[in-house]
Amino acid sequence: MTTERHRCTNRPPVGTRHHPHASDDPTPDTWDVRPNGDRVCSHCTSMHPDDFAALALKACGDAAYGIEYTQFPWRLSVFQPGVDSDSEGAKRFHRWHAPANPRPDETANISLAIHLTRGRKIAAAKASFDA
Ligand SMILES: [Zn+2]
């Protein structure tokens, strides 16, 4: 299932294509809806920024949700119940899909979610180490 069209901001700007398969279509991409309702960029598989903000809010109060840094500075990994593969829901958020003017409360939620996720992982690792 597909929703509104957009141009992934990881693509080169229209008129500057340097790759034979790069599109000059201003809206070549779609937000594809996964079975759990997540919208995912058809070009880069990033979660939709609004869905990412909603997941961050959930992760602040529910350990079943989480956001982590990855080895790639442009990518955050997300996890949520019932999503083990890309075909089930979003697994990542790419920074080029971040809004130009993010809402301060959403930015705070994302930072807190990352902090809490890291703390939960450390606590779980410590508990298993002490067991
Ligand atoms: Zn994208």
**pLDDT tens-digit series, residues 40-62:** 999 999 999 999 999 999 999 99
Distance 9 CA to ligand 1 centre (A): 6
pLDDT digits (tens, 9 = 90+) for 84-120: 999 999 999 999 999 999 999 999 999 999 999 999 9
| Tally of domains within the chain | 1
CA of 126 to the centre of ligand 1 (A): 36
pTM of model > 0.85? yes
Best CA proximity match to 55, nearest among 102, 6, 112: 112
CA of 1 to the centre of ligand 1 (A): 17
- What is the extent of the structural domain holding 92? 2-130
The Å distance, Cα 130 to ligand 1 centre, comes to 42
Residue 20 has pLDDT above 70, yes or no: no
